[in-house]
Chain A
Amino acid sequence: DQQVKQNSPSLSVQEGRISILNCDYTNSMFDYFLWYKKYPAEGPTFLISISSIKDKNEDGRFTVFLNKSAKHLSLHIVPSQPGDSAVYFCASTVYNFNKFYFGSGTKLNVKP
């Protein structure tokens, strides 16, 4: 049962433009959401998070939006840079449940 879904396996964006990565979840109990970035031969690294009491969280070039009614979150990267090229995973959990569910990832390619 895949509770977190990333339906776009890949995304290609021109440098300087906006990258939008999407994620859907099915479990209405989820109340904490994260994005991780993964480079080849490395483990995922934490990027940004959002709790269900918010609908937006910003950190520099990265903004995560949460639409609870649609069970949808998105990650916006503005402006995109070639160094952002990586696989991005979204993850969800229930607060204090300590079990995180990951999507299958979206491979972002930012072209110079």
Chain B
Amino acid sequence: DTGVSQNPRHKITKRGQNVTFRCDPISEHNRLYWYRQTLGQGPEFLTYFQNEAQLEKSRLLSDRFSAERPKGSFSTLEIQRTEQGDSAMYLCASSLGFDGTDTQYFGPGTRLTVL
């Protein structure tokens, strides 16, 4: 197992365009998390899935953001009508899902730049 992978690693887009990121968790992990990290800050929680169910969304996740995890495997995060304020590192993490203190394993992130 090679850990959590994220694609693409970098994305540059123009304001107003839609972008989609993909996260492939560690295969036996039931929980999948999305975070956003801006310069000089720690990761901020966006949303998480238990298998295919999206159980919580942060108020940071505006209507332009949508996340899916079909079949409880990989997940996608889509941002519609991107704004310059969306520029950030988007991190995905997965965990086994046995309890709330499972270790989260992070992917390398997707760096989004909105011009």
> Which residues from chain A sit less than 8 Å from chain B, CB to CB?
4, 6, 9, 32, 36, 41-46, 49, 51, 89, 91, 93-105
Interface size classification for chain B: 20 to 34
Report yes or no: A98 in contact with B48, Cβ–Cβ below 8 A.
yes
Report yes or no: B45 in contact with A95, Cβ–Cβ below 8 A.
no
Q: From A51, which residue of chain B is reached at the shortest CB distance?
A: B101
Q: A46-B103, A95-B100, A96-B99 are in contact. Are A41 and B108 (CB under 8 A)?
A: yes
| Subset of 5 A-B contacts with CB under 8 Å | A43-B4, A43-B91, A91-B42, A98-B48, A104-B42
B41 contacts which chain A residues (CB < 8 A)? 104-105
Report yes or no: B55 in contact with A98, Cβ–Cβ below 8 A.
yes
Report yes or no: A103 in contact with B42, Cβ–Cβ below 8 A.
yes
Q: CA separation between A110 and B99, bound complex, in Å? A: 35
Q: A89-B43, A104-B42 are in contact. Are A98 and B56 (CB under 8 A)?
A: yes
Report yes or no: A95 in contact with B101, Cβ–Cβ below 8 A.
yes
Interface of A is mostly: loop
Q: CA separation between A99 and B55, bound complex, in Å? A: 11
Within 8 A of A (CB), among B44-71: 44-45, 48, 55-56, 58
> Which residues from chain B sit less than 8 Å from chain A, CB to CB?
4, 31, 33, 35, 40-45, 48, 55-56, 58, 91, 93, 99-101, 103-109
Report yes or no: B106 in contact with A100, Cβ–Cβ below 8 A.
no
Report yes or no: A32 in contact with B108, Cβ–Cβ below 8 A.
no
Report yes or no: B100 in contact with A102, Cβ–Cβ below 8 A.
no
Report yes or no: B105 in contact with A46, Cβ–Cβ below 8 A.
yes
Report yes or no: A4 in contact with B42, Cβ–Cβ below 8 A.
yes
Report yes or no: A96 in contact with B42, Cβ–Cβ below 8 A.
no
Task: Specify which of B45, B101, B107 is in contact with A32 (CB 8 Å cutoff).
Answer: B101
Given contact pairs A49-B103, A105-B42, a sample of 13 additional A-B residue pairs in the complex whose CB atoms are under 8 Å apart: A42-B108, A43-B4, A43-B106, A44-B43, A45-B106, A46-B105, A91-B42, A94-B100, A100-B45, A101-B45, A102-B35, A104-B41, A104-B42
